[in-house]
């Protein structure tokens, strides 16, 4: 019974989280992404930035640190928008001591064509098959 109710509970909690649940954005797959992380102590609000640099888009997300999740990232286009998705996956509900810190995810997408486009960065939490997507930042970027 608990296994069947857990995804519903996660969805219900996300629905009450002041608009954090966004329309599900499937990682578009198609562009290689290099993602790195760093940790800082203390808690600040979740934030994100998108900048164009040379032939690359650099998407940065800072959010509360988590434990026991596998990190992947994906990027591609959805319509006219360049979408970067940071995916944190867990095979079970995680139980760990509070980490009292923030993780910064830096996702770099290289080899992009010159031009101006809209870009967004999302965080997807996947737990026991349930997905929670959050749009962290959207911006118009220009690559030379």
Domain assignments of the chain as residue spans, ordered by start: 2-143
Average the pLDDT over 58-80 and give the result: 92
* pLDDT for residue 116 is more than 80: yes
CA 73 vs CA 2, 5, 47, 87, 121: distances in Å = 30, 28, 17, 6, 10
Q: Where are the beta strands (DSSP E) in the chain?
A: 33-41, 47-53, 56-64, 70-78, 81-90, 101-109, 115-127, 130-143
Q: Which pLDDT does position 26 carry in this prediction?
A: 56
Q: What is the pLDDT of residues 87-115, one digit of tens each?
A: 999 888 777 777 889 999 999 999 999 99
Query: Ranked by mean pLDDT, which of 26-35, 43-52, 83-92 comes out on top?
Result: 43-52
pTM (2 d.p.): 0.77
């Amino acid at each position: 019974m608990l296994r069947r109710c857990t995804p519903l509970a996660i969805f219900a909690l996300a629905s009450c989280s002041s608009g954090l649940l966004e329309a599900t954005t499937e990682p578009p797959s198609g562009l290689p992404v290099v993602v790195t992380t760093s940790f800082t102590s203390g808690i600040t609000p979740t934030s994100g930035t998108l900048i164009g640099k040379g032939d690359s888009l650099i998407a940065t997300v800072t959010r509360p640190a988590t434990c026991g999740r596998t990190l992947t990232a994906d990027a591609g286009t959805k319509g006219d928008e360049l979408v970067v998705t940071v995916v944190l996956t867990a095979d079970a509900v995680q139980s760990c001591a509070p980490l009292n810190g923030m993780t910064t995810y830096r996702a770099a997408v290289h080899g992009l064509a010159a031009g101006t486009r809209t870009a967004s960065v999302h965080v997807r939490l996947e737990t026991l098959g349930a997905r929670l997507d959050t749009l962290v930042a959207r911006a118009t970027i220009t690559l030379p």
